[in-house]
Amino acid sequence: MARAFLFLSALLLLGCSASQQATTPSATAVATAIAAATPVPSATVAPATPSPSASLAVKTREDAIYYTRRDIRVVSWLNAYTGASRENPEVTYEKPNWIVKYTDSTCVDIRPDRSICTMTATVDEVTGRIVTAAQK
């Protein structure tokens, strides 16, 4: 910012009329002043490279559960199957996805042909999006 200000000041000084140039410093003096005022970096520091996990949306089991609870398919299934394992779903990690499985062992009332009903949601670890949500 200071460098730009000095540069603009030098341009204004050089653009003055002939009568004003007698009282103003020469172009060489202005260039010398700009060079003296410009800080010289002692060492070039490379920017820090982010760790690979910094760009991941889903890093923990809790993150995977959080993203599944935001999906309408999972929410509607949990509302329909009231006996589902809401608080402690089974969560596994299979690179590059998290798999969250909700089970309901009391679903016989809703689906007499099944003794255990499941909702399995696959969460992409980078974006946090639900890749698949399937019920059985």
pLDDT confidence of residue 97: 92
**65 and 124 both lie in a single domain:** yes
Domain that holds residue 17: 2-37
How distant, in Å, are the alpha carbons of 3, 15, 40, 85, 109 from that of 36?
Answer: 10, 22, 9, 70, 84
| CB-based contacts of 95, cutoff 8 Å, min separation 6 | 125
Check whether residue 16 and residue 75 sit in a common domain: no
Q: Both 63 and 127 in a single domain? A: yes
Alpha carbons 30 and 26: distance in angstroms, whole number: 6
Same domain assignment for residues 30 and 68? no
- Does some domain include residue 92? yes
Of 11-20, 30-39, 54-63, 96-105, give the range with the top mean pLDDT: 96-105
For 28-77, write each residue's pLDDT tens digit: 665 565 665 555 555 454 444 445 555 778 888 899 999 999 999 999 98
